[in-house]
Structure 1
Amino acid sequence: MFNMKIVFYYLVSALIFLNLYTFSHSFVDAADPQYEACRVPKICGDQTISFPFFIQGQQESYCGYPYPGFNLSCDPNGRSILNLSGQNYVVRQIFYHNRSVIVSNAALLDPEENGCIASVPNLTLSSDFKIAEGQNSVVLLYNCRAFSSVGRSNPLLKYRIGCYAENQTNSVLAIYESDGDQLAQASRTCGPIGDVVVANTKAVDGYMGGSSENEGMLMREVLRRGFMLTWLASDCSLCEISGGKCGFMVPSYHFRCFCPDMPHAARCFPAASGKNGKLGLGLGVILGGIGIIVSAVVAWRLWKKKHQTDENVEVFLKRYGPIQVGRYSYSKIKKLTNSFAEKLGQGGFGDVYKGKLDDGRLVAVKVLNKSKSKDGQELINEVATISRTSHINVVTLLGFCFDGPKKALIYEFMPNGSLEKFIFDDNTTVDDENSYHLDWETCHQISLGIAKGLEYLHRGCNTQILHFDIKPHNILLDVGFVPKISDFGLAKICKREESHVSMLGPRGTAGYIAPEVFNRNFGNVSHKSDVYSYGMMVLEMIGGRKNINIQVDNTSEIYFPHWIYKRLELNENLGLKRIINEEEGVRVKKLIIVSLWCIQTSPSNRPAMNRVIEMLEGRVDSLEVPPQPFLYSPSRSSPPESS
């Protein structure tokens, strides 16, 4: 039986929209052809191509930046190809929000069938591009001899990344440009000169242990991953916010914002001409306002429960602008994960599965739990925050799925999983040879990497990003144990100049939540709240155990920080079994002092993350022991020994 009230609402809405359509088309001219040509971004594989880039042959050249390097081609494998210095570079990922792009030299990404590598000419950039900070130079030396037969003991063997294409036998070596001694030694067995390539080598700095063969494989992978460039093309944000599309007028090559009515210098404005045009525009605005109000009421009355989630997320995706990560259907997600065949782990918001993209890259796919992501906020937070970032210590979001109730997030794959398995290994002891416990140098490097990632989120982005859920489970480790901050489901985006933020309720995980987050009497919520969580996590790394003893009546009582503070205060032996020499003792003492500063009860007494980095990189004798945090004091006078 029909509900006549619903039918009436539909009829009213239909009539209003029909009148608006007819009325508006009486006064609005046809859309500008340049706007129409550039309005919809092109897709090449999993990349969305828009200003300042354009795909030659598929887009008009005025839709992009009309200079070499911005005209891309799309190869048969669905890869975007950028030509620099006459060499093809595969575009791995474009970050439009901070004008940067990760590229890999095609010659290094796609060696010949026999695995050999052709010469790679030195990279020469135009004034429109520059190499991003944090990238290193690597020298490729060709035609290197004495490695194929008797050279197994050659110390240069660890730099071998393949064979030379011209003779298909002699080796190619990859050595840091800064490593002058090794380059000098290699020049005696290699060709007269080498080529300099760029690579993001931070992922392997300090972690190139193991066999020479493994080190060569690791360097090959780093070179395949490519490096980051930034571009200096005109800022497009003002134009896109106003509803336009950026481009260049031909043949003058001046920047223009292509709008539905005509090109403008910087942004779009409402188009109207003459008395009738102004009258039509005014009436259109009035009728449009009425139509929007009535339609909003109808939509709210009829669909608020069933479709609120979908509308919220879709509106976000539309308003946020061109999302620079791929969007996948749920059927594609099933294909990538082989129908969820290999489960990697389980988190608060869903299960994580191993997958593989069409280009062969391994990924981690988090399928969001329906009951815990009803409003889509987890997906919105992840896309809004991670897609704004580009840092060695922040996980890369490669794609997402929003397919009705099916939601998923696709990240770069981290071979070593999450940090917590290296801290809370209940099946082994620290003396067990099969134990996952990390050595102290690695603990220090992981702590430093996380600190740098948080400093970037707090101060290095265009906006300030507060994570609110820093804990070992949300720190992922790559093949070289480089830490990556992940899981931004509770994150909050703020203006960089904001000293504190407002929150309706506490967020985070018990044991890591800063006091001010659940009780404003302790101070304002700010980036210092992440500092507190960081300090608690580092203390767990030190103790190899949970900070909170769940057996006591009050679960907010923290035993390990109190126990270790007393040891530090009385200048006693730290009592940690894994410390085997004085050098390790000094390193651990530094970690303890820094983490105790981070968990100070008052936010004003905690250091910012840039100061944390300075303390971790400085000398321990320059650090002052902080006051004991007074909020948590154990009821027992003699806590048990920590292992």
Structure 2
Amino acid sequence: MFRGMNVLLPCYIAFLLQLLVFQTCHSSNITAHCAPSSCGNIQNISYPFRLNTDPQSCGNNNYNLSCENNISTVLYLYSGKYYVQAINYGNYTIRVVDAGVQGNCCSIPRYSLARDNFSYGDPYTWYNYKQVLPPGVGEGFVDYRGYYWGGRLPPTLSQPMIFMSCENTVNSPLYVDTAPYGLNYGSGNYSNSSLVTHSNYVTLGGMNASDLMELCSIEKIFLLPKKNYTDNYSFEEIHSDLANGFELSWYNINCEKCRRGCYLNSADHRRCIGFHESYRQIILYTVAELLTTIALLHGLKVVCGTPCVIIFLIYKWRRRHLSVYDTVEQFLQSQNNLMPVRYSYSDIKKITRGFKDELGKGGFGTVYKGKLRSGRFAAIKLLGKSKANGQDFINEVATIGRIHHTNVVQLIGFCAEGSKRALVYDFMPNGSLDSHLFSQEGSISLSWQKLHQISLGVACGIDYLHLGCDMQILHFDIKPHNILLDENFTPKVSDFGLARLYPTNGSITSLTAARGTIGYMAPELFYKNIGRVSYKADVYSFGMLLLEMAGKRKNLNALAENSSQIYWPYWVHDQVSDGKAIEIGDDATEEESKIVKKMIMVGLWCIQMKPMDRPTMKNVVEMLEGDLENLRLPPKPVFNVDETPTNIEGESSSLSGDSTESTSLVENAY
């Protein structure tokens, strides 16, 4: 093996040298400095810029400009057209304006352009090439990545301006109304846009998801010059700056040795952004790493071999015992398409006013009421120490973070800062469903019509989790405590700490341990011979929930007056099959009696022993929406197993003897 490696080593080094030569040739592929060109008001267009009519040997092709009718100098950038207003060769900036912007306030930009459009190493950047240190911060405070304690260097040249359309008028200091200026949307790409028909606003400096008001949507993002506006600035002032244009830096022409661009530090020394390394340095590091590996393989016997083995074993041990924080952070780094906002822990403390208003406690932590910068109320769940390597936090962010449905609680944001982890949800003023079902003090008594609407909403939410996403989401903890109610008593499925994501092309999944709350868990989670675990486990849990809603009582009640009523599903099945009426109150109407009977029959179908006998959630929605006359009574759900339960100790946090306490959101949290 070593002899073969000796043969491959020269080949590998030759390949690296070829890369070095290629990089040198590529870097030297610089075109000639020619006589300056001009177009309209832009005079002395010189290196690195060139007009598209100049000889190929002039300028740099990355800085190509066009001359339109010998009047306007045009820069085409990321599929957008921009008119050049000025080129400053002293500070390496070019000022451009969107082709759709005219001198009057009626015009708006045609092309979206945000900081996310720019990549490291692009010819143009939105930040200044010159590093400026704040007072009291010396060069020694700047680390190898070009960071200092408190922010990123160098400073920016522009700031984002966001165009939004809102179905209703908005009263917020963050939103600037454009209505008084009669914007002309026909001049841009807006003919089919909601900007034409809705109320329109702009905000400056970017925004968090929590700042986006209800029934508002982001239409376009543009760049403005970096400027501090007064408190009462108008769209007229903003438009004036739009017409003047924004600046981009072209200093990257001097950064051929840096993969991600470069800048000048406060001592006028050129520094690469990110790691201070060139391609040659990378090659040297790679060669050195290869030689070190070969030396280890050949071995230095006792002197070097023993320390290397020890270091290797320590490294493997640390990899095997990754901390909770590493696991969570790795997950967040891999999920760069998540919509929720990532808050710092200091933000969380400000939102909750120092954790003053506690709403409740649960298995995974404490929930506090807070207020976002936009004025919107939120519920912040501050998670305690995880027993599952941060999996509860990962489950919630991975599931709720990627979906939006009227019957699923919305995750606004999250915090993952060392051991501090928090989840920020929409605030639900009417609390959880169980507080209204089981006659808690101060709760509002819900009518049978409202309970039926709530049950239908929950069914729609679970059906969406099963079939409405690109991944199938199994909740595994459906129960009254995890159904939250907003100000209109619209139900929201919450608490995804036990949820799992699965591909939509298969309905069967394997679990190492039972998960959920006793009293709502499907029998196949305990007994293998009943059937494989699938989305039908959530159907079973919903059936138990539905029966509790129909009876306004727990399914298992050891203190029931009649022993036959201890287990409600058995008793109510016998009542319906014998044609007896279910007592729901002396003043109940015939329509209310039908609603209750329908909920009972659908619930009994959902809790059938075998998963294959249960309906899908789509069928459940159809049954709840349909007529009672179309339903037939299912068989009595009788347990008959010949096998001991499967392991329920694998995830101790997922079970509880009390059916009202498990891995749920907090009691009366919202």
Indicate the TM-score class for this superposition, using the shorter chain for normalisation.
0.5 to 0.7
The match for 1:226 is 215
The residue aligned with 1:49 is none
Secondary structure of 2:473's match? strand
Contact 1:121 1:195 in 2 (8 A): no
Determine which of 389, 392, 395 is the counterpart of 2:403. 389
Residue 107 of structure 1: CA displacement? 3.8
Residue 514 of structure 2: which of 500, 506, 518 is its match? 506
**Structure 2 vs 1, CA of residues 56 and 547 (structure 1 numbering), >3 Å: closer, same or farther?**
same
- Alpha-carbon displacement from aligned partner over 1:469-509 (angstroms, at most 9, x marks no partner): 01111111111111111110000000001121000000000
CA offsets 1:151-186 (integer angstroms, 9 cap, x no match): xxxxxxxxxxxxxxxxxxxxxxxxxxxxxxxxxxxx
Matched, 1:600 2:608: yes
The offset of 1:345, in angstroms, is 2.1
Aligned partners of 2:532, 2:328: CA distance in 1, in Å?
30
| 1:48-447 matches, cutoff 5 A | 56=113, 58=115, 60=117, 82-83=162-163, 88-89=164-165, 104=166, 107-110=169-172, 225-226=214-215, 297-302=313-318, 308-370=323-385, 372-373=386-387, 375-427=389-441, 436-447=444-455
Cα offset, 1:576, TM superposition: 2.0
Cα gap change, 1:629 to 1:617, in 2 (>3 Å): same
2:549 and 2:611 map into 1 onto residues whose CA distance is: 22
Mark the CA change 1:296 to 1:447 in structure 2 (over 3 Å): closer, same or farther: farther
Task: Deviation per CA, 1:77-136: give whole Å up to 9, x if none.
Answer: x997643xxxx33xxxxxxxxxxxxxx4584354999x9x989999999699889xxxxx
**What CA distance in whole angstroms lies between the structure 1 residues aligned with 2:602 and 2:349?**
44
Aligned twin of 1:537: 545
Kept in 2, the 8 Å contact 1:501–1:525? The answer is yes
Match of 1:16 in 2: none
User: Per the alignment, in what secondary structure is the counterpart of residue 323 of structure 2?
Assistant: helix
Q: Structure 1 106/228 Cα, relative in aligned 2: closer, same or farther at 3 Å?
A: closer
What is aligned with 1:151? none
Gap change, CA 1:620 and 1:298, over 3 Å in 2: same
In 2, distance between residues paired with 1:126 and 1:487? 42
Other-structure match for 1:461: 469
Q: Is the 8 A contact 1:547 1:561 kept in 2?
A: yes
What secondary structure is seen at the aligned counterpart in 2 of 1:465?
Answer: strand
Cα gap change, 1:340/1:531 in structure 2, threshold over 3 Å: closer, same or farther? Answer: same
CA separation of 1:59 and 1:318: change in aligned 2, threshold 3 A: closer
Displacement of 1:283 in angstroms is: 9.0
Deviation at 1:445, TM superposition (A): 0.7
- Specify the code of the residue in structure 2 equivalent to 1:320: Q
Q: Does the C-alpha gap of structure 1 residues 601 and 359 become closer, same or farther in structure 2, counting only changes over 3 Å?
A: same
Aligned identity (percent) is 40
Q: In the alignment, which residue of structure 2 is the partner of 1:72?
A: none
Corresponding residue for 1:206?
Answer: none
Once the 2 structures are TM-superposed, how far is the Cα of residue 417 of structure 1 from its aligned partner? 1.2
Q: Contact conserved, 2:167 with 2:198, CA < 8 A, in 1?
A: no
The 2-side partners of 1:447 and 1:333 are apart by 33
Alpha-carbon distance in structure 1 between the residues aligned to 2:466 and 2:567: 30
CA deviations over 1:493-529 (Å, ceiling 9, x no partner): 0000112100000000010000001211111111100
For 1:397-430, what per-residue CA distance to the aligned partner results, in whole angstroms no more than 9, with x for missing partners?
Answer: 1111112222111111111111110112244xxx
Residue 170 of structure 1 corresponds to which residue in structure 2? Answer: none
User: Structure 2 vs 1, CA of residues 81 and 607 (structure 1 numbering), >3 Å: closer, same or farther?
Assistant: farther
C-alpha deviation, 1:351, in angstroms: 1.3
Residue 527 of structure 1 corresponds to which residue in structure 2? Answer: 535
In structure 1, the partner of 2:65 is none
* TM-aligned CA deviation for residue 360 of structure 1: 1.4
- Rounded Cα–Cα distance in structure 2 between residues aligned with 1:27 and 1:414: 63
Q: Which protein is bigger by CA-based radius of gyration?
A: 2
Pick from 458, 481, 484: which aligns with 1:473? 481
| In 1: Cα distance, 2:180 partner to 2:557 partner | 59
Look up the SS of the partner of 2:333 in the other structure: helix
Q: Determine helix, strand or coil for the equivalent of 1:464.
A: strand
8 Å CA contact 2:169, 2:199 repeated in 1: no
Query: What amino acid sits opposite 1:325 in the alignment?
Result: P
- Equivalent residue for 2:583? 575
Distance (whole Å) between structure 2 residues aligned to residue 400 and residue 228 of structure 1: 22
Q: How many corresponding residue pairs?
A: 423
Task: Return the alpha-carbon distance in structure 2 between the equivalents of residues 119 and 482 of structure 1.
Answer: 39
- 1:225 aligned partner, one-letter code: E
- Distance of 1:516 and 1:128 partners within structure 2: 55
- Distance across 2 between alignment mates of 1:483 and 1:453: 9
Shift of 1:285: 13
Q: 1:112 to 1:408 in 2, by over 3 A?
A: closer
2:274 is matched with: none
3-state SS, counterpart of residue 351 of structure 1: strand
**DSSP-derived class of the 2:338 partner:** coil
Give, in whole Å, the separation in 1 of the partners of 2:172 and 2:401.
27
From the superposition, tell whether residues 111 and 335 of structure 1 become closer, same or farther in structure 2 (CA, over 3 Å).
closer
Correspondence for 1:623: 631
Flag the 1:551–1:129 CA change in 2: closer, same or farther, 3 A: farther
Per-residue Cα deviation, 1:279-331 (whole angstroms, up to 9, x for no partner): x899979969x9999987433425755x5211111111112234321122222
Q: SS of the residue aligned with 1:479? A: coil
CA distance in 1, matches of 2:416, 2:116: 28
| Residue type at the aligned position of 2:419 | P
- The separation in 1 between residues aligned to 2:182 and 2:625, in whole angstroms, is 37
The answer (yes or no) to whether the contact 1:400–1:408 under 8 Å persists in 2 is yes
Report if the CA contact (8 A) 2:114-2:160 is conserved.
no
- Residues in 2 aligned to 1:130 and 1:627: alpha-carbon distance in whole angstroms: 54
Q: Distance in 2 between matches of 1:564 and 1:335?
A: 51
Residues 79, 295 of structure 1: alpha-carbon distance in 2 compared, 3 angstrom cutoff:
farther
Most deviating of 326-335 and 389-398:
326-335
- Output the CA distance in 2 between the equivalents of 1:285 and 1:598: 65
Task: Report SS of the residue matched to 2:619.
Answer: helix
Residue equivalent to 2:305: none
Give, in whole Å, the separation in 1 of the partners of 2:488 and 2:546. 19
- Partner amino acid, structure 2, of 1:570: D
Q: Tell me how far apart the structure 1 counterparts of residues 401 and 521 of structure 2 sit (CA, whole Å).
A: 25
Give the 3-state SS of the residue equivalent to 2:408 in structure 1: coil
**Is the partner of 1:331 in helix, strand or coil?**
helix
Displacement of 1:393 after TM fit? 0.7
Unaligned segments of structure 2, at least 5 residues = 1-12, 28-60, 63-76, 79-109, 121-157, 201-211, 221-258, 261-278, 298-307, 642-670
- Asked if 2 retains the 8 angstrom alpha-carbon contact of 1:417 and 1:478, the reply is yes
Counterpart-to-counterpart distance in 1, 2:19 and 2:459 = 56
Change over 3 Å in CA distance of 1:622–1:500 after alignment to 2: same
- Distance in 1 between the 2:21 and 2:338 partners? 33
Residues in 2 aligned to 1:419 and 1:451: alpha-carbon distance in whole angstroms: 14
Amino acid in the other structure paired with 2:569 = P
Residues 121 and 196, structure 1, Cα contact 8 Å, conserved in 2: no
Cα deviation, residue 571, structure 1 = 1.1
Output the CA distance in 2 between the equivalents of 1:623 and 1:122. Answer: 57
